[in-house]
Amino acid sequence: MKDKEPFGGLAIDFGADGGGASATATPLAIAPEAPPTATGGPATIASAGDRVDTKLLIVGSGPAGLTAAVYAARAALEPVVLAGSAPGGQLMLTSDVENYPGFPDGIQGPDLMAAMRAQAERFGARLVDVDIDRVDFSARPFRIWARGTEYRAQSVVVATGASALWLGLDSETRLRGRGVSACATCDGFFFRDREIAVVGGGDTAFEEATYLTRFATKVHLLHRRDTFRASKIMIDRAYDHPKIEIHPNTAVEEVLGDAKVEGLKVRDTTTGDMSEMQLDGVFIAIGYVPNTAPFREWLEVDSKGYLVVRDETGSNIEGVFIAGDVHDHRYRQAVTAAGDGCKAAIDAERWLEAQGITEAATATAW
Ligand SMILES: Cc1cc2nc3c(=O)[nH]c(=O)nc-3n(C[C@H](O)[C@H](O)[C@H](O)COP(=O)(O)OP(=O)(O)OC[C@H]3O[C@@H](n4cnc5c(N)ncnc54)[C@H](O)[C@@H]3O)c2cc1C
């Protein structure tokens, strides 16, 4: 592995998101105004303005949503998946995934998500690549609107994930998966014996910088201000670490490199002086935003805006279940999200049985 280039040099065109110096969430993978793509079956998906009724609606098509879809489809629930305008979720933003069990040689993130989608469709899940606009969870059937279509469901699995915040630079977008990452746990391994940077000033940035010293020869921590939001103990530990060099008052202006990251152009925020750093990778650690906006009126959120789960995958509303990064800011891994999706589908299926909406005894179908 030592000889491997970061992310294997896979060419993925994520498109440009317009740039700007402020932090931005993940760009949409499909144009918001494009007609929604619907795949799989057998549910009949109505065109805009119509109504769709289903026993189980799954919102989101990352590892959590698609695993829920596989389980629910195999339990004959004929789930409808509103896959979002970024179908496949966060793993579409990376190339090599080497920690998802079952792939000893690793797998490309988009390939893994395409396989999960095909598996869900094979068992009868119906997927529509559309974002939901609003929900009404005041009574059953629950009602969800997406691009003019009303979806009515006896139960819902919310698996809308979280979006990493990025700096908003065109060069950063272009080199994502080619040395630019937002996940140290996922991608640190690719930077063994490399010199890298972490951007951010909070606990996450300091934690990731410390974690990355296991692999990298040197970790530069860059922050645009001279004060940090991280706890004092984290800051002290980083200052004492022989492999970490802290650069306050340093803003990233451009990620340098053609096929992969070769360095950063940075600006001293006190003097305005520009300089270049030669690096093999950069981790953006400026935070995540949970995709909870349409649900906030109905579902409980914690102080960071993540959904609150009750009894494993339940929510404060009976029949509404939660899976994946939309509630989990602790593990943030594909395999934990997939595990959550499995649990949420089983819980939803058992709940539907208990309500008399579906027949009992599907337990053996899992
Ligand atoms: C750069 C990067 C690299 C990573 N590498 C790895 C790795 O190597 N290994 C690993 O295990 N993990 C990795 N992760 C983490 C992993 O991708 C996440 O933990 C995982 O994808 C979470 O799955 P999820 O299904 O909960 O949510 P997500 O993958 O975030 O999927 C959320 C889904 O919800 C949809 N959605 C959002 N809002 C709406 C809406 N309003 N209406 C409808 N749909 C909506 C989105 O379109 C998307 O389909 C990486 C993450 C990043 C950012």
- Distance, CA of 163 to CA of 23 (rounded, Å): 11
Longest dimension (CA), the chain: 70
Q: d(Cα 134, Cα 329) in Å, to the nearest integer?
A: 24
Q: Tell me, what's the pLDDT at 362?
A: 52
Catalytic residues: 183, 186-187
| Cα 36 to Cα 47: distance, rounded to the nearest angstrom | 9
Q: What are phi and psi of 235, to 5 degrees?
A: -65, -45
R_g of the chain computed on alpha carbons: 22
pLDDT of residue 5: 40
pLDDT of residue 220: 98
Which of 105, 183, 190, 329 for mutating ligand 1's site (highest number of atoms within 8 Å of CB)?
Answer: 183
Measured from the CA of 64, which atom of ligand 1 is nearest?
Answer: 25
Which pLDDT does position 9 carry in this prediction? 34
Mutate to test the pocket of ligand 1, among 105, 291, 296 (most ligand atoms within 8 A of CB): 291
φ and ψ of 290, to 5 deg: -70, 140
Q: From start to end of 65-217, where are the E strands?
A: 80-82, 96-97, 107-108, 126-128, 134-136, 142-146, 149-158, 162-164, 180-181, 195-199
Six-digit token string for 292: 């909870």
Cα–Cα dist 173/7, whole Å: 15
pLDDT (tens digit, 0 to 9) for every residue of the chain, 366 residues total?
333 443 333 332 323 332 223 344 433 344 445 667 778 775 545 444 589 999 999 999 999 999 999 999 999 999 999 999 889 999 988 888 999 999 999 999 999 999 999 999 999 999 999 999 999 999 999 999 999 899 999 999 999 999 999 999 999 999 998 999 999 999 999 999 999 999 999 988 999 999 999 999 999 999 999 999 988 999 999 999 999 999 999 999 999 999 999 999 999 999 999 999 999 999 999 999 999 999 999 999 999 999 999 999 999 999 999 999 999 999 999 999 999 999 999 999 999 999 998 876 554 455
Asked whether the bond before 110 is cis by omega within 30 degrees of 0, the reply is no
Quote the CA–CA distance of 267 and 276 in Å, as a whole number: 9
94 Cβ closer than 6 Å to some ligand 1 atom: yes
Ligand 1 touching residue 36 (CB < 6 A): no
Calculate how far, in angstroms, residue 336's C-alpha sits from the geometric centre of ligand 1: 11
Per the DSSP assignment, residues forming a β-bridge with 143 are 136, 152
What pLDDT is attached to residue 38?
Answer: 77
Q: What is the pLDDT of residue 113?
A: 97
Distance 71 CA to ligand 1 centre (A): 19
Residue 365's pLDDT is 52
The pLDDT value recorded for residue 6 is 35
Rounded to 5 degrees, φ, ψ at 208 are -65, -40
Q: Does ligand 1 come within 6 angstroms of the Cβ of 335?
A: yes
